[in-house]
Amino acid sequence: MSLKNSYPHPYIAREGHPYIILMLLICWGAFFIGCWFLNIILYFITVFVIQFFRDPPRNLPNDDELSVVSPADGKVIIVEKTTDPFRQQEALKISIFMNVFNVHSNRVPVAGVVEKVEYYAGSFLNAAVDKASSENECNAILLKTSSGQSITFVQVAGLIARRILCYAKKGDEVSRGERYGFIRFGSRVDLYLPVDAEPKVVIGDKVKATSSVLAQLSNQEA
């Protein structure tokens, strides 16, 4: 299913425009005062900042609303059955680690209605370690699908991530693959699914937001 033609966001995310403009001004300043070596270093930093804020449109893999798509680009670091700490119920947890070279635009994994948005201040540990889920700054969205299944997806800050941006609000109806947030400079996303969901990825898999399927929900109407 194509979302590219209807994706309403620029290829370079608006969240990055102030940083890019600032870096360009600094580069031009170094150029005009003749600091060639510094200008070269600043040029590479600017290129890095521009690539970090990429926000490309992506295609959904199919029209099956039971397919849970990835909320982020990155590497799968956890696939396990555990307890959803926001709902206090058993769940299938899938975690994706985003390094600084991944796209950091976050997408909705499955369509539904936002029941609650919960933000927690916390630490800034390396997002790849297990305790980052419980100790780091995070923002959780609790969602209910049209078939009544409960899904939780959590933006988790990382070692150098210092800003979690979430645009979804309680009561919003969101679509699978829809952009809902952004995390600046390295982080992870934790996804808590119904315990009977079937995982489609294993630890170590590289995934892309919207276009990669992480799991398949059970058919509650079957």
CATH number for the domain spanning 125: value is: 2.70.70
72-98 per-position pLDDT tens digit: 999 999 999 999 999 999 999 999 998
* Residue numbers of the domain that contains 206: 67-214
Residues 36 and 130 in one domain: no
Instruction: Give the Cα separation of 143 and 145 in Å (integer).
Output: 7
Rounded percentage of the chain residues whose pLDDT exceeds 70: 86
Rounded percentage of the chain residues whose pLDDT exceeds 90: 49
DSSP-based three-state secondary structure for 79: strand
Confidence of residue 161 (pLDDT cuts 50, 70, 90): low
Q: What is the pLDDT of residue 163?
A: 76
Q: Say which residues have a Cβ less than 8 Å from residue 113's Cβ, sequence separation at least 6.
A: 143, 144, 171, 172, 173, 174
Active-site residue 187, yes or no? yes
Of 95, 150, 187, 212, the active-site residue reads 187
Q: Which residues pair with 163 in a beta bridge?
A: 184
Residues 164 and 207 in one domain: yes
Give the total number of structural domains in the chain: 2
Residues 193 and 95 in one domain: yes
Rg over alpha carbons for the chain, rounded to the nearest Å, is: 18
Judge whether 219 lies within some domain.
Answer: no
The last residue of one of the domains, among 18, 37, 57, is 57
Q: What is the pLDDT of residue 220?
A: 67
Residues 53 and 94 in one domain: no
- Mean of the per-residue pLDDT values for the chain? 86
Q: What is the pLDDT of residue 91?
A: 96
Judge whether 164 lies within some domain.
Answer: yes
Strand pairing class (112-120; 105-107): unpaired
Residue 123 has pLDDT above 90, yes or no: no
Residues 95 and 139 in one domain: yes
Judge whether 31 lies within some domain.
Answer: yes
Q: Kindly report the pTM of this predicted structure.
A: 0.85
Instruction: Give the Cα separation of 205 and 218 in Å (integer).
Output: 22
Judge whether 62 lies within some domain.
Answer: no
Judge whether 103 lies within some domain.
Answer: yes
Instruction: Give the Cα separation of 123 and 156 in Å (integer).
Output: 10
DSSP-based three-state secondary structure for 189: strand
Residues 159 and 127 in one domain: yes
Q: Hey, which of 19-28, 138-147, 212-221 has the most confident mean pLDDT?
A: 138-147
Residues 130 and 29 in one domain: no
